[in-house]
Amino acid sequence: MTDSSQRLAELRSGIDELDAQLIDILAKRSALTSKVGEIKAETGMPVYVPEREVALIDKLRAQAIQAGISPDLAEDLMRRIMRDSYHTQNNRYQGVNPKTGNVVVIGGRGALGRVFVSLFERSDYDVDVIEKDDWQSGHAERVLANAALVVVAVPITLTETVISQLTALPEECVLADITSIKSKPLKAMLAAHSGPVVGLHPMFGPDAPGMIKQVVVVCHGRAPDAYQWLIEQMRIWGATIHESSAEEHDQAMAYIQVMRHFNTFVYGAHLKGENPDLDTLTVFSSPIYRLELAMVGRLFAQAPELYADIIFNNPDNVALLRRFHERFGVALDILERGDKKAFIKQFLEIGGWFGDYAKMCLVDSKQLLLKADDGQMLRK
Amino acid sequence: MTDSSQRLAELRSGIDELDAQLIDILAKRSALTSKVGEIKAETGMPVYVPEREVALIDKLRAQAIQAGISPDLAEDLMRRIMRDSYHTQNNRYQGVNPKTGNVVVIGGRGALGRVFVSLFERSDYDVDVIEKDDWQSGHAERVLANAALVVVAVPITLTETVISQLTALPEECVLADITSIKSKPLKAMLAAHSGPVVGLHPMFGPDAPGMIKQVVVVCHGRAPDAYQWLIEQMRIWGATIHESSAEEHDQAMAYIQVMRHFNTFVYGAHLKGENPDLDTLTVFSSPIYRLELAMVGRLFAQAPELYADIIFNNPDNVALLRRFHERFGVALDILERGDKKAFIKQFLEIGGWFGDYAKMCLVDSKQLLLKADDGQMLRK
């Protein structure tokens, strides 16, 4: 063994020793945060307290600087550790109103329905689930007759049909839905049920391991006092509540979801049509392009019906997309003329419209792209 | 103080104590990896050894499982720690050929040029920089007369003009460029210089803190034996080398860069035209939409000239973008007809074209979106 390879071996065994200590600290920390979780569940304290998180991170950054290591490193590590402790160590939550009576989740075995069922159960509510077959067997009718809260969590195409059947709920029962559009379901709920009604849109997919740090949009329907407890319950689960009218919500969704999904769909169709070699493309891609390609690819690993429902749901979408198509044509004409000046002028005008947000996007996405690099993600 | 708040305070002080230990371990680890970096620089061992990284991660995951904590948590933390040690603790690299003579970087004060200057200097090369003013002062002529390697790192619009002036290099001098297109610069270099010529495309932006884990595309020009040392040097800096013809490279770039940048440009123009409230949009966005919006916003925080150059560079791009525009129109017609069946059929066909890559994208981007969530990134 040469001198330098011996020194290297010694250094590496020292590093391995420190890594083992790191695992040990993580295990001990996890045991302590579990206990914190238990106390919070008993006393009904919120799981996610933004101020406590900020204070903890600030303190850690200061310690890192003092120890001569990167404060960004310390912060990134701590945020990752916190995610874990939020999601794996909160098996129970305080129930705000567990004695209210039965919570019925229609579609409670579906991807997002299951998240709600689990959250209610872990907060001491009695939960019933209604699935397709339960309507004929009489099970649905039985549990609905006792319901204190009914949550409609069925696919978007079925939402209105299912709601139209909920005409015999107890007068005091709260009726809610979690569809990603809000105007139509809210109207349908108000028509079917004369008691309290509220439209919810949890702004996260079933991938999310819970409701912590997630936004839930609340569109009030009728008798908000009767479902105030439900909103409180979601806050305890860690959600940020954003109140909105159903119309404002649906309009924002058209920009956000429909534009992106449709454009991504066409981009996929374009790639298939041009038929480049995907291996070559990913080899030639830097992290940002791999990420963008992955955003296209991921769409097609999912159920087409879901996206068809979102895109075809609203006839206004066609007009919005037509305007995008026209703008694409105008930009193409600029390109075909070779008019760089016009391109740059428009570019700067758009930048002005984005304002400071553009810079923020650049900074934030830079951090995220570095993280994508860590794991050598998104390479084929 | 109530009993539970006392218990909570005790637990938190225990957590704080563990966090301080964590910082301590990081500082110790950083000291050891610095020493490893020094030995590697002395002996010329590569900085990034994929096998050692895999082995280390595997071992750590096993330890995590045994300690009852999440192996994914352990892996994510270690990858983040490794990024830090790669980039902050490699101040020096072994030089493969530092006695070769002067390395001249034309445009060496620019964003990417600076990265190369720094890497060469930290590997014991004598480096000269040529900037705009140096042509008139005679400085350029002087340093070029002694050059063993000339790297052209000027903006894409100037590349060919600058290259056309390099007709008096020493016969043995290696001429290289790092432009993001390859056919035209390579042709220009072969015409201007009769000695060794190579086209390089470092597949990363100036954001990247170095060359570790990055791809560099190499397009051979003339006399590869004479610049083999340069390729070895980039490997020591941590790069993955991908050899390609200039034509293959440029075609892949058209799909990857031009399509995405142009589409993003139009999307920005569309948003400005529709003028939705950005605050509202980001509030209503789940992590994936915030990320997509950030990918649009970040474009407009950058220099329009760069993107104008990339997009206007190749007349073939117009035809490619026209075909995208047509496909968008066809998809719009399907939407206008309300023909969900046709949409779903096409969706599945595209999914078939993507094959397993789509699933991989879904898994990888899921991890990345969780990371975006950790830091509450991309919220306005």
Tell me what pLDDT residue A365 has.
76
Instruction: Give residue for tokens 């955003």.
Output: A295
Mean pLDDT of chain B: 89
**Which residue from B56, B64, B273 is facing A23, i.e. has the nearest CB?**
B64
Q: What's the CA gap between B84 and B80, in Å, rounded? A: 7
CA dihedral B211, B216, B221, B223 (to 10 degrees): 50
pTM, 2 dp: 0.79
| Cβ contacts of A42 on chain B, cutoff 8 Å | 4
| CB within 8 Å: B80 and A297 | no
**Which residue from A28, A281, A359 is facing B301, i.e. has the nearest CB?**
A359
Residue spans of alpha helices (H) in chain A: 3-43, 50-67, 71-88, 111-121, 134-137, 139-145, 159-164, 183-192, 228-236, 246-253, 259-274, 278-283, 287-299, 304-312, 316-337, 340-354, 356-374
Decide if B256 contacts B229 (C-beta within 8 A). Answer: no
Residues B182-216: tens digit of each pLDDT: 999 999 999 999 999 999 999 887 667 678 878 89
Tell me what pLDDT residue B372 has.
64
Decide if A289 contacts B257 (C-beta within 8 A). Answer: yes
Average pLDDT for residues B19-28, to the nearest whole number? 96
**Which residue from B335, B369, B373 is facing A213, i.e. has the nearest CB?**
B373
Query: With 90 as the cut, is the pLDDT of residue B45 above it?
Result: no
Q: What's the CA gap between B241 and B90, in Å, rounded? A: 20
Residue of A nearest to B82 (CA): A374
Query: With 50 as the cut, is the pLDDT of residue B113 above it?
Result: yes
Written as tens digits, the pLDDT of chain A (380 aa) is: 678 889 999 999 999 999 999 999 999 999 999 999 888 888 878 777 888 888 999 999 999 999 999 999 999 999 889 888 887 666 788 899 999 999 999 999 998 899 999 999 999 999 999 999 999 999 999 999 999 999 999 988 899 999 999 999 999 999 999 998 899 999 999 999 999 999 999 988 766 767 887 889 999 999 999 999 999 999 999 898 999 999 999 888 887 888 889 999 999 999 999 998 888 888 887 777 777 888 889 899 988 988 898 888 777 889 999 999 999 999 999 999 999 999 999 999 999 999 988 888 888 777 777 766 665 444 43
DSSP letter (8 states) at residue B110: S
| Cβ contacts of A361 on chain B, cutoff 8 Å | 293-298, 301, 378
| Mutant choice from A335, A341, A345, A366 vs B, greatest count of B C-beta within 10 A | A335
* Smallest Cα distance from B171 to chain A, Å: 32
Q: What's the CA gap between B228 and B225, in Å, rounded? A: 5
Q: What's the CA gap between B202 and A29, in Å, rounded? A: 42
Least confident of A269-278, B142-151, B228-237, B354-363: B354-363
Residue B87 DSSP SS3? helix
Query: With 90 as the cut, is the pLDDT of residue B228 above it?
Result: yes
Tell me the two tokens of residue A116: 């709600």
Residue of A nearest to B331 (CA): A266
Per-residue CA distances from B280 to A124, A252, A315, B115 (Å):
35, 7, 22, 39
DSSP letter (8 states) at residue B379: -
**Which residue from B59, B270, B289 is facing A323, i.e. has the nearest CB?**
B270
Give Cβ neighbours of residue B148 (< 8 Å, ≥ 6 apart). B100, B101, B102, B103, B170, B172, B173, B174
Q: What's the CA gap between A72 and A69, in Å, rounded? A: 9
Tell me what pLDDT residue B378 has.
44
**Which residue from B24, B203, B324 is facing A67, i.e. has the nearest CB?**
B24
| CB within 8 Å: A304 and B348 | yes
Residue B338, phi then psi, degrees to nearest 5: 70, 30
Query: With 60 as the cut, is the pLDDT of residue B379 above it?
Result: no
Tell me the two tokens of residue B106: 């034309």
The neighbour count for residue B141, using CB atoms within 10 Å, is 13
Decide if A323 contacts B377 (C-beta within 8 A). Answer: no
Q: How many residues belong to chain A?
A: 380
**Residue B371: which of A364, A300, A32, A90 has the closest Cα?**
A364
Give Cβ neighbours of residue B92 (< 8 Å, ≥ 6 apart). B37, B38, B41, B122, B123
Average pLDDT for residues B34-55, to the nearest whole number? 84
Q: A239 versus B363: which is more confidently predicted?
A: A239
| Mutant choice from B59, B290, B350, B356 vs A, greatest count of A C-beta within 10 A | B350
Tell me what pLDDT residue B89 has.
64
| CB within 8 Å: A354 and B312 | no
Q: What's the CA gap between B318 and A181, in Å, rounded? A: 37
Strand duo B197-202 + B102-106: pairing:
unpaired
| Cβ contacts of B14 on chain A, cutoff 8 Å | 32
Residues B275-296: tens digit of each pLDDT: 988 888 888 877 677 778 888 8
Tell me what pLDDT residue A374 has.
62
Decide if B68 contacts A27 (C-beta within 8 A). Answer: yes
**Residue B220: which of B189, B251, B192, B260 has the closest Cα?**
B189
Residues A104-141: tens digit of each pLDDT: 999 999 988 999 999 999 999 999 999 999 999 999 99
Tell me what pLDDT residue B377 has.
45
Residues A325-374: tens digit of each pLDDT: 999 999 999 999 999 999 999 999 999 999 988 888 888 777 777 766 66
**Which residue from B289, B347, B361 is facing A257, i.e. has the nearest CB?**
B289
Residue of A nearest to B249 (CA): A284
| Cβ contacts of A368 on chain B, cutoff 8 Å | 291, 368, 371-372, 377-378
- The ipTM, to two decimals, is 0.79
- Band (pLDDT 50/70/90 cuts) for residue B252 is confident
Tell me what pLDDT residue B223 has.
97
* Smallest Cα distance from A365 to chain B, Å: 7
Average pLDDT for residues B70-90, to the nearest whole number? 86
Decide if B337 contacts A369 (C-beta within 8 A). Answer: no
| Mutant choice from B34, B60, B69 vs A, greatest count of A C-beta within 10 A | B69
**Residue B219: which of B189, B262, B257, B256 has the closest Cα?**
B189
| CB within 8 Å: B292 and A30 | no
Chain A to chain B Cβ contacts (< 8 Å) = 462
Least confident of A129-143, B251-265, B316-330: B251-265
- Band (pLDDT 50/70/90 cuts) for residue B91 is confident
Q: What's the CA gap between A242 and A219, in Å, rounded? A: 9
| CB within 8 Å: B267 and A324 | yes
Going across the sheet that includes A240-243, the strands are: A127-130, A102-106, A147-152, A174-177, A197-202, A215-222, A240-243
Per-position DSSP letters for A125-193, written without gaps between them: --EEEE-TTHHHHSHHHHHHHTEEEEEE-S-TTTHHHHHHT--S--TT-EEEE--S--HHHHHHHHHH-
* Smallest Cα distance from B192 to chain A, Å: 27
The neighbour count for residue A226, using CB atoms within 10 Å, is 17
Tell me what pLDDT residue B3 has.
85
